[in-house]
A and B are shown apart, each in its own frame.
Chain A
Amino acid sequence: NFMLTQPHSVSGSPGKTVTISCTRSSGSIASNFVQWYQQRPGSAPATVIYDDNLRPSGVPDRFSGSIDSSSNSASLTISGLKTEDEADYYCQSFDNSNVVFGGGTRLTVL
């Protein structure tokens, strides 16, 4: 089984752009789709990016996803930061019959 490693925390000011990375420990990041979930305090998770770079309806285009095979990582970029973006963000992918979540990144909007 592989692991997905995320930074413990990131921060940014309103209106700025932040990027959260998700590095796969073994196997290619491109071999299975990556999802990103947002979890606000006291709430259930919600999808913000699926299949590497697709946004569910209702998610603003300030959220974007990408993968980079050279670093074997996925990234979630949030532009035009708003205070409502303050939350925990988790990446997720698959391997055979196993589902792996990253450890989560706390985004603080200063």
Chain B
Amino acid sequence: EVQLVESGGGLAQPGGSLRLSCEASGFTLSSYGMNWVRQAPGKGLEWVSYISSSGTTIYYADSVKGRLTISRDNAKNSLYLQMNSLRDEDTAVYYCARAHDFWSAYDYWGQGTLVTVSS
């Protein structure tokens, strides 16, 4: 069974940092691209970042460029999102989502981890 489990969310101060993780099981992570998608409370979905299966291709939404960094460790079956210089508007549930490549639909999603940025 394919599973994606996010962790690492919590409360952070503006300007602070957090590192999110997404542990994959039930499939070979190295065969798939991965995404982070977020959803602010009561709002819609917003794509955050994509990383290719090998990690060589990375894209970011303009709203997070220079502050959030996606990475992966296929040997550990894990995806990461390093979040620096956090802002109030980064408050959201963060989902990791699997895709065959950048142009593919997201066929599996995790249950999400909540990040709250507040002083």
Residue positions of A touching B, CB distance < 8 A: 1, 32-33, 35, 37, 39, 43-47, 50-51, 56, 88, 90, 92, 94, 97-104
Contacts and interface: CB of A to CB of B under 8 A. Distances in A.
Interface of B: 35, 37, 44-47, 50, 59, 61-62, 95, 97, 102-107, 109-112
B102 A44 contact: no
Top 5 nearest A-B pairs by Cβ distance? A50-B105, A99-B47, A44-B109, A104-B44, A35-B105
A90 B105 CA distance: 12
B112 A44 contact: yes
A103 B61 CA distance: 16
Contacts of B37: 45, 101
A38 to B, nearest CB: 11
A35 B107 CA distance: 11
A101 B106 contact: no
Contact of A37 (B45, B62, B110, B111): B45
B50 A90 contact: no
B45 A45 contact: yes
A94 B47 CA distance: 11
B44 A103 contact: yes
Grouping DSSP codes into helix (H, G, I), strand (E, B) and loop, the B interface class, with mixed when no group exceeds half, is loop
Nearest to A34: B105
B50 A99 contact: yes
Given A97-B59, A98-B59, A98-B61, A47 B105 contact: yes
Contact of B103 (A33, A44, A103): A33
Nearest to B111: A44
Contacts of B102: 94, 97, 99
Given A32-B103, A33-B105, A37-B45, 13 more contacts: A44-B109, A44-B112, A45-B37, A88-B44, A90-B44, A90-B45, A92-B45, A92-B47, A97-B59, A97-B102, A99-B59, A99-B61, A99-B102
Residue from A1, A32, A45, A88 whose CB has the most chain B CB atoms within 10 Å: A45
